[in-house]
A and B are shown apart, each in its own frame.
Chain A
Amino acid sequence: MLLELKDIYKDYLQDKLVIPVLKNVSLAVEEGDYLAIMGPSGSGKTTLMNIVGCLDKPTSGTYLLDGEDIAKMNDKQLSNVRLNKIGFVFQNFNLLATQSALDNVALPLIYAGVKKAERREKARIALERVGLGERVNFKPTQLSGGQKQRVAIARAMVNSPKILLADEPTGALDSKSGDSIMELFSSLNNDGVTVIMITHSREIADCAKKCIFIKDGIIEEDTGRI
């Protein structure tokens, strides 16, 4: 089992009021899985994603990633997990506007302490993988929405993580660009990358091998393989 969440509770404190967001969530994802998480706004799917992505810690419950207990890790160790095991893709791309596509993709490698020449080479390969080999020196402003998301995916994949986490990856794209992003996800999944994505759209969720539906912090249905 690549990641295993057991009895996860997550509460937020707002004006001295404890607001439960996740209630007893258990989830297991195997290596090579392609999982879609669906649910209405405020259902807790982003919170679940943040916990899976090691950006947040659960209030209670255990989370084992690759056999390691995330709850026991300190800030530095969590950073290292994010750096080496997880790749993030966001709805609004989150690219650095002043940097070229190549520099954006190479960014995680800086934190991994990779030397400059190797960084550029790896970033170039990652960009070619997402079909942007011709546009390595373009700034994000010179790219279309779909191309920006491809750069973001290249950035997520450049350090060869096991897991790709995507939060509404097609939310800001037209359907045509969205489809090509989904094709890219499937292709990455076929290469062995575990993909977990949040989406609103049933159509997008259908691209995944598995889908879970979350409502009010509880997993309502586990559809299994479609």
Chain B
Amino acid sequence: MIENIRLSFQGIWGHKLRSLLTMLGIIIGIAAIIAIVSTIKGTNEQIKRNLIGSGNNTVKVELRNSEDEYGESQVSALGLPEIDKNVINQIEEFDEVESAVVYHSTSVYSGLYYKNNSLSNGHVYGTTAKYFDVAGLKIKQGRGFMDSDISKYRKVAIIDNESLDAFFIDGDPIGQTIEIQKEPFTIIGVVTESEEFEPVINSEEDYYSYQSEAGGNVYVPYSIWPTIYGYDLAQNVLIKASTTDEMSKAGKTVADYLNSQIPQSQQTPAGQESAAMGDQETLTDVEGDKGDADISGEGSSSKSGISYKAEDKLEEAKQLQQLSTATNQQLIWIASISLLVGGIGVMNIMLVSVTERTSEIGLKKAIGARKGQIMLQFLTEAAVLTSLGGLIGVIAGIVLAQAISKLSSTPVAISVPAAVLGVVFSMLIGIVFGLLPSRKAANLNPIEALRHE
């Protein structure tokens, strides 16, 4: 076998130009596939990174109306059980949850001012000091919430960098006063992401998506919330999953748990957005049953369809990844045609080689080489030729991917399994397309082969 491989390399080296031209189809095919796979992998990693963010594994579990796809409208939590310390403790018992904290939140488009500057498109959160730990935020300036801020209903606020920019506060922001729903709040601190996260921005779309995400947040004590936004706003839970891969599972577990706490009359089976979409029929069935049970309870029927849902960034990332992968997979098929053409080229050259070496084959058979040994020799030669082509193709593909990355600033990530698979697949092409020429060589009649000049 080693002898066969050595002879194959000798043969390839002996016909450098011919071998190179034969390999070209394989080289181009493998290079194209490696470049495409690298681009897909790079894009997927970027999507995941961008969506999951700094990787602090936080998942928001919020009360949503299942008929409201975008979850923009505020949902009244009237009649729902309170999420108190016991519930949070219960949530933190789950294996996949590291920590959890309750919070109120609302989107604000107006009503948030510093002097004449307003913060539009931001969020106000009513929460406790623990929130910053769970969310992976750290106090950059000033101080965080203290127990007394909560217990004494102090009108204090903590803002993040984006809000700071939006308010155009000159000098030290600590001690300045902002207005929330016409109530004055004193800024006591500024928070920032504890892990620096720079989203990769490659296109205008990316840029706008970050701009809208980065609307600016303002945090106020949990206890003061009802005074500015009323009592019936939903309580939400922020959890930190133990690992990034468990984010989806943790979110679903917590949402299911919270939904199980909702009294029967208001419960819907939907735990997650994706589930709710697919289960429209079940949903209406359950609602029908409920209608029978709660004829007296007028208010409850308007609340059907409310449930806790975990935002599933992992799932969102997966869906986006699937989209980009599906698009690029078409390209892989096209590149595979090149491999097919390359394989046929290899077959052609091997047939020529068998004809050229007819007398050599005749001699080998005369001196005692068996059919199988002759066949193995030519199969090895074809496989070595295409494997070498595959190897060159992988290297060319990596270079190509880097070049694409430089030119169009799309991210690439070299996939080691894809590279290995590329070489193995090339070898298989050699074996498959070398089969016919090798059989031809093995079945040559030694007498006629010897006479061949």
Q: Is the CB of B447 within 8 A of A56?
A: yes
B377 CB → nearest A CB, Å: 10
- Whether A111 pairs with B369 at a CB distance below 8 angstroms is yes
B256 at the interface (CB under 8 A from A): no
In chain A, what residue has the closest Cβ to B363? A94
Task: Known contacts A94-B450, A110-B3; decide if A53 and B366 are in contact (CB<8 Å).
Answer: yes
Q: Note all chain A residues with C-beta closer than 8 A to B359.
A: 94
B143 adjacent to chain A (CB < 8 Å): no
**Contacting residues, chain B, for A27 (C-beta < 8 A):** none
Q: Does B144 contact A (CB under 8 A)?
A: no
A94 to B358, CA, bound (A): 11
Total residues of chain A contacting the partner, CB 8 A = 26
Contact of A88 among B14, B367, B371 (CB under 8 A): B367
Q: Is A9 located at the chain interface by the 8 A CB criterion?
A: no
The answer to the question of B273 belonging to the interface, with a C-beta cut-off of 8 Å to chain A, is no
Q: Find out whether the CB atom of A111 lies under 8 angstroms from the CB atom of B370.
A: yes
A76–B366 CB distance below 8 A:
no
Tell which of B10, B11, B367, B450 touches A111, judged by Cβ atoms closer than 8 Å: B367
B 397-453 contacts with A by CB, 8 A: 446-447, 450
Contact partners of A80 in chain B: CB under 8 A: 368, 370
Q: Is there a chain A Cβ closer than 8 Å to B309's Cβ?
A: no
From DSSP, what is the main secondary structure of chain A's interface residues?
helix
Task: Tell me whether B360 is interfacial, beta carbon within 8 Å.
Answer: yes
Q: How far is the CA of A75 from the CA of B446 in the complex (A)?
A: 12
**Given known contacts A94-B359, A98-B14, A110-B3, A76 and B371 CB-to-CB distance under 8 angstroms:** yes
The residue on A at minimum CB distance from B11 is A98
Q: Is the CB of A112 within 8 A of B368?
A: yes
**Are the C-beta atoms of A82 and B447 separated by less than 8 Å?**
no
Report the minimum CB–CB distance from B453 to chain A (whole Å): 8
Q: How far is the CB of B384 from chain A (nearest CB, A)?
A: 16
Are B447 and A111 within 8 A (Cβ)?
no
- Which residues of chain A have C-beta atoms less than 8 A from B14's C-beta? 98
Q: For the complex, what is the distance from the CA of A8 to the CA of B364, rounded to whole Å?
A: 27
B48 within 8 A of A: no
Partner of A75 from the list B11, B364, B371, B450 (CB cut-off 8 Å) is B371
**A187 near B: Cβ within 8 Å?**
no
Q: Which residues of A contact B161 (CB under 8 A)?
A: none
Taken together as a complex, chains A and B put the C-alpha atoms of A82 and B373 apart, in Å, by: 14
Q: Tell me if A28 is interfacial: C-beta within 8 Å of chain B.
A: no
Whether B447 and A79, one on each chain, are in contact in the complex, defined by CB atoms closer than 8 angstroms, is no
In the complex, whether A44 has a CB less than 8 A from a CB of chain B is no
CB distance A79 to B360 under 8 Å? Answer: no
A80 to B365, CA, bound (A): 10
Distance in angstroms from A57 CB to nearest chain B CB is: 11
- Whether B373 and A111, one on each chain, are in contact in the complex, defined by CB atoms closer than 8 angstroms, is yes
B367 touches A107 (CB 8 A): yes
Residue of B nearest to A56 (CB): B447
Q: Does A108 contact B (CB under 8 A)?
A: yes
Contact B373 A88, beta carbon cutoff 8 Å: no
* Contact bitstring B330-368, A, C-beta under 8 A = 1, else 0: 000000000000000000000000000001101111111
Query: Given A96-B360, A98-B14, A110-B3, are A79 and B450 neighbors across the interface (CB < 8 Å)?
Result: no
Q: Does A62 interact with chain B (Cβ within 8 Å)?
A: no
A148 interface hit (Cβ, 8 Å): no
CB of A90 closer than 8 Å to a CB of B: yes
Whole-angstrom distance between the Cβ of A49 and the nearest chain B Cβ: 10
| 20 A/B residue pairs, CB under 8 Å, sorted by A | A50-B447, A53-B366, A55-B366, A55-B447, A56-B447, A75-B371, A76-B370, A79-B368, A80-B370, A82-B365, A82-B368, A83-B369, A84-B368, A88-B366, A90-B450, A94-B359, A108-B367, A111-B364, A155-B367, A159-B368
User: Which residues of B come within 8 Å of A, CB atoms?
Assistant: 3, 10-11, 14, 359-360, 362-371, 373, 446-447, 450
Q: Beyond the given A80-B368, A84-B368, please list 16 additional residue pairs across the A-B interface where CB-CB is below 8 A.
A: A50-B447, A55-B365, A55-B446, A56-B447, A76-B370, A76-B371, A79-B365, A79-B369, A79-B371, A83-B368, A90-B450, A94-B362, A94-B450, A98-B11, A116-B3, A155-B367
Which 6 A-B pairs have CB atoms at the shortest separation, nearest pair first? A83-B368, A82-B368, A94-B363, A79-B370, A108-B367, A111-B369
Interface residues of A (CB under 8 A from B): 50, 53, 55-56, 75-76, 79-80, 82-84, 87-88, 90, 94, 96, 98, 107-108, 110-112, 116, 155-156, 159
